[in-house]
Amino acid sequence: MKSASMIVMLLPATSLPPTLALAAQSDTKLSGTANLDAETCAKGTGSPDCTIEFSITGKAAKVIYDGMVSKGAMQECTGDVEKFDDSGMHCIKGKDANGYVCDFSYGFKKHAFGPGPDGC
């Protein structure tokens, strides 16, 4: 029975892309910011358009970027390479090795994740 539980524990890690499976084996500290939109959240998080925007940087952002299945495309205004997915996740690979950034948002009323802030 012990070996069956080992197989079950290994399945989730082996079903991930190699980069994410590796990251799942150890903790990666998060660095970044969270910004509650002051304008749309002036009346509280129950307001219809109240969102909080997250930005993750560094090693954790690189793990996400590398695990995204979309192809990277050149960002016109900076020359960095960016990826998007249907969940709203947006990641950028900057020109230097530490230049990874991912952003997304959470809508309190919608109870859903979505795209991060627009901009270049």
- Bridge partners (DSSP) of residue 90 are 84, 103
Residue ranges making up the domain that contains 40: 29-115
Structural domain includes residue 20 = no
Per-residue pLDDT, 6: 32
| Residue type at position 28 | T
Structural domain includes residue 95 = yes
Enumerate helices (H) and strands (E) in the chain, giving the number of each: 3, 7
pLDDT band at 27 (very low <50, low <70, confident <90, very high): confident
State mean pLDDT over 10-39. 65
Structural domain includes residue 84 = yes
Alpha-helical runs (H) found in 25-107: 59-67
Structural domain includes residue 65 = yes
Per-residue pLDDT, 26: 75
Structural domain includes residue 52 = yes
Structural domain includes residue 62 = yes
